[in-house]
Amino acid sequence: MKKILLLGSGELGKEFVIAAQRLGQYVVACDSYDHAPAMQVADEREIFSMLDGDALDAVVDKHRPDIIVCEIEAIRTERLYDYEQQGIRVVPSARAVNFTMNRKAIRDLAAKELGLKTARYHYATTYEELCKGAEDLGYPCIVKPLMSSSGKGQSLVKSADDLRHAFDYGIAGSRGDIQELIIEEFVHFDYEITLLTLTQDNGNTLFCPPIGHVQQGGDYRESFQPLSMKPEHLAEAQRQAKAVTEALTGSGIWGVEFFISETHGVYFSELSPRPHDTGMVTLAGTQNFNEFELHCRAALGLPLPSIKMLRKGASAVILSPIASAEPPRYRGLEETCEEDADLRIFGKPTTRLNRRMGVVLVSGELQESLEDIRSKAKRLAAKVEVY
């Protein structure tokens, strides 16, 4: 049995803890607030700000974990190098977490060092730099904080009139102590995918079937698998995903995002060194192992020979229409109890407007229409009310 220190305890962390405990592991779940979803199923909990390096050191010293798994961005990531030197395994690696928690580091690695195709981009720490960068890239363009999550601080800028709001919103949406923005050229793509990529101690890199997804305001609303795409585009996405994950080093599941243009090809977008929110569709039984089980096996060094597609699937999120410090209640759960449908309520202790509170999962046979499966997931998710 290994002791795993989980840094971040949201709904993705909760599913990881379940996967780890099914393999007999001991998990300490950490977050900045009590009763976070993963804490409800973990062996122990710690409540502190992971941006406080001294507090993070104290928790590591207290528990002496064998493995550290990072589930969120807001971590004093440079301390992870020290933990690796102490013999603690960081998943996927300290280098990977440090690079990918900051859009500047990962974008420069992908575009400048590895030569992957990306949208053109600039950085800005001041409003004047933002204006200059947007003028060079043209409109529309995308403005994002260098460190954020779930689309916070992200804006579509249609003209110079939108820049002041984009700057203020981007800075306000920044996580951690990095107050810098990235301005990206708007890529006219036909669709976007998440390519879940598994790296392993034995050196074998495996890919899950591509996941299509729909985002609003930079946050995921639905996902579906497998997304049909041209073989040459899939091969190129796999080539790029393998290149960037090898450069970052380590073993685990990675959520690698791409824009796909039928005429211009594959654009690398972003990467997460952990289970991806769009990958919750794998909880519908679409694969022989879901993304959390894959991440856990890689963390433990358990080799996996192959990833097999078993069924088609779709996920649709349940959002909160209210903000309240009181525990949420739910109506309509019984309305989701149809054949080939499942439901996850994450157990978040409070609500805020448009907070993701649960997900509906629907699966179907491989010969079934993916559009029908998607429609069913969205229909059932709309029946659940948070109040």
**Could you read off the pLDDT of 200-254 as tens digits, one per residue?**
999 999 999 999 999 887 789 999 999 999 999 999 999 999 999 999 999 999 9
Same-domain check for residues 40 and 130 = no
What is the rounded average pLDDT of the residues 2-22? Answer: 98
Q: Is 270 a catalytic residue?
A: yes
Catalytic residue among 118, 149, 155, 336: 149
Same-domain check for residues 242 and 126 = no
Catalytic residue among 151, 218, 285, 332: 151
* CATH at 70: 3.40.50.20
Cα 153 to Cα 163: distance, rounded to the nearest angstrom:
13
Catalytic residue among 11, 192, 257, 293: 257
Residue 109 lies in a domain: no
Same-domain check for residues 215 and 178 = no
What is the rounded average pLDDT of the residues 11-38? Answer: 98
Residue 288, domain extent: 191-386
Q: What is the pLDDT of residue 102?
A: 76
Same-domain check for residues 377 and 245 = yes
**pLDDT tens digits for range 134-190:** 999 999 999 999 876 656 789 999 999 999 999 999 999 887 667 899 999 999 999
Catalytic residue among 31, 184, 277, 342: 277
Q: Specify whether the CB–CB gap between 347 and 40 falls below 8 A.
A: yes
What is the rounded average pLDDT of the residues 263-289? Answer: 96
Same-domain check for residues 166 and 251 = no
Residue 110 lies in a domain: no
Q: What is the pLDDT of residue 100?
A: 85
Q: What is the dihedral of CA 347, 353, 356, 361, to 10 degrees?
A: 110
What is the rounded average pLDDT of the residues 3-27? Answer: 98
Q: Where are the beta strands (DSSP E) in the chain?
A: 3-7, 26-31, 44-47, 67-70, 89-91, 121-124, 141-145, 155-157, 181-185, 191-199, 206-207, 211-216, 219-225, 252-261, 265-272, 312-319, 330-331, 341-345, 356-364, 385-386
Cα 370 to Cα 25: distance, rounded to the nearest angstrom:
36
Residue 270 lies in a domain: yes
Same-domain check for residues 80 and 220 = no
CB atoms inside a 10 Å sphere around CB 236: 17
Catalytic residue among 150, 223, 278, 336: 278
Cα 212 to Cα 168: distance, rounded to the nearest angstrom:
31
* CATH at 167: 3.30.1490.20
Strands 26-31 and 3-7: parallel
Q: What is the pLDDT of residue 73?
A: 81
**pLDDT tens digits for range 303-323:** 999 999 999 999 999 999 999
Mean pLDDT of the chain: 95
Residue 98 lies in a domain: no
Catalytic residue among 89, 297, 356, 374: 356
Same-domain check for residues 151 and 47 = no
Quick one: 377 exposed, middle or buried, by C-beta within 10 A (0-12, 13-18, 19+)?
buried
**pLDDT tens digits for range 85-134:** 999 999 999 999 998 877 788 999 999 999 999 999 999 999 999 999 99
Same-domain check for residues 137 and 8 = no
* CATH at 242: 3.30.470.20
Q: Is 257 a catalytic residue?
A: yes
Same-domain check for residues 130 and 279 = no
**pLDDT tens digits for range 337-354:** 999 999 999 999 999 999
Q: Is 278 a catalytic residue?
A: yes
Cα 42 to Cα 76: distance, rounded to the nearest angstrom:
22
Residue 124 lies in a domain: yes
Same-domain check for residues 180 and 55 = no
What is the rounded average pLDDT of the residues 52-77? Answer: 95
pTM of the model: 0.92
Q: Is 338 a catalytic residue?
A: no
Same-domain check for residues 151 and 197 = no
Residue 54 lies in a domain: yes
Same-domain check for residues 341 and 250 = yes
370 or 100, greater pLDDT:
370
**The residue to which tokens 């107050």 are assigned:** 179
Residue 99 lies in a domain: no
Cα 323 to Cα 357: distance, rounded to the nearest angstrom:
12
Catalytic residue among 270, 335, 340, 385: 270
Q: What is the pLDDT of residue 281?
A: 98
- Structural domain total, the chain: 3
Domain boundary among 145, 168, 185: 185
Q: Is 168 a catalytic residue?
A: no
What is the rounded average pLDDT of the residues 28-34? Answer: 97
Q: What is the pLDDT of residue 151?
A: 64
Domain boundary among 167, 185, 203: 185
Residue 113 lies in a domain: no
